[in-house]
């Protein structure tokens, strides 16, 4: 006859503890995998219109800073401080929107196709809003402002092919430009929603036209930070 060996109480307890440990380890691994799969995905400018608009705004402000550093004058330090504050706020907005913080798209405007000559519209922006931290209003060193666009006649369409984004500056509706001197009035029409705004150029930027937060809000599409199809006219 064969003997049936029975496990002692202590051995049974040890086996149960070992099984529980293995099961717990498996659960921990599954939980870790689940948490990893839920990690937020960071979007680039190529993946999102919102991210592209913010990257363009950041790039334009950085381009302006680079121009001030290359050709400084007595007001350059204040202008640079202002734009650095704007860039910091745009980075906050990029993080809040799930975009890559600090991503810049300085050359994105030059690559855009020409906008149609008629109609109105805007492909949007949100409030990337940074207050005016140091003011470069009516900047003394206008860089290349007043070059190609400055000689345009009133009513003439300008900045052909340019996209429009926001500068990130606060205050009453206004624009900044590297083509037109302070005091020039521009009408910006968003061809995607038939909204338009007429604003005065008050400062210098790194692109043909940038709208500040208030002006951009007047023509934006909800949730967008870039106007791809815009008509820009010099009206005064």
Contacts of 92 (CB under 8 A, 6+ apart): none
> Which stretches within the chain are classed as H helix?
9-37, 49-70, 76-96, 213-219
- 109-132 tens-digit pLDDT: 433 333 333 333 333 333 344 444
Under a CB-based contact definition with an 8 Å cutoff, are residues 49 and 123 in contact? yes
What's the rounded Cα separation, in Å, for the pair 134 and 214? 18
What pLDDT, on the 0 to 100 scale, is given for residue 128? 42
What pLDDT, on the 0 to 100 scale, is given for residue 229? 92
What pLDDT, on the 0 to 100 scale, is given for residue 16? 57
What's the rounded Cα separation, in Å, for the pair 41 and 36? 11
The segments of the chain whose pLDDT lies below 70 read 1-40, 45-46, 106-154
- Sheet containing strand 195-203, edge to edge, reads 157-158, 230-234, 185-190, 195-203, 175-176, 210-211
Structure tokens, 213:
């937060």
Contacts of 204 (CB under 8 A, 6+ apart): 64, 79, 136, 139, 141, 142, 143, 145, 176, 177, 178
CA angle 229, 235, 236 (to 5 degrees): 140
What pLDDT, on the 0 to 100 scale, is given for residue 11? 59
């Amino acid at each position: 006859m064969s003997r049936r060996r029975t496990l002692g109480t202590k051995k049974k307890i040890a086996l149960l503890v070992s099984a529980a440990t293995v099961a717990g380890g498996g659960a921990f691994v599954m939980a870790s995998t689940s948490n990893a799969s839920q990690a937020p995905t960071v979007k680039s400018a190529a993946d999102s219109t919102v991210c592209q608009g913010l990257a363009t705004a950041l790039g334009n402000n950085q381009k302006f800073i680079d121009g001030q550093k290359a050709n400084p004058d007595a007001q350059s330090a204040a202008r640079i401080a202002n734009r650095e504050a704007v860039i910091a706020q745009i980075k906050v907005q990029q993080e809040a929107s799930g975009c890559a913080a600090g991503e810049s798209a300085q050359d994105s405007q030059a690559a855009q196709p020409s906008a149609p000559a008629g109609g109105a519209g805007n492909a949007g922006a949100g409030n990337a809003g940074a207050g005016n931290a140091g003011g470069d209003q009516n900047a003394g060193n206008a860089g290349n402002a007043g070059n190609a666009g400055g000689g345009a006649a009133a009513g003439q369409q300008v900045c052909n092919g340019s996209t429009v984004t926001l500068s990130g500056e606060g205050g009453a509706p206004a624009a900044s430009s590297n083509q037109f001197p302070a005091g020039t009035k521009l009408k910006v029409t968003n061809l995607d929603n038939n909204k338009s705004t007429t604003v005065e150029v008050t400062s210098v930027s790194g692109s043909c036209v940038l709208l500040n937060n208030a002006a951009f809000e007047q023509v934006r599409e909800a949730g967008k930070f870039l106007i791809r199809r815009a008509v820009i006219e010099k009206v005064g």
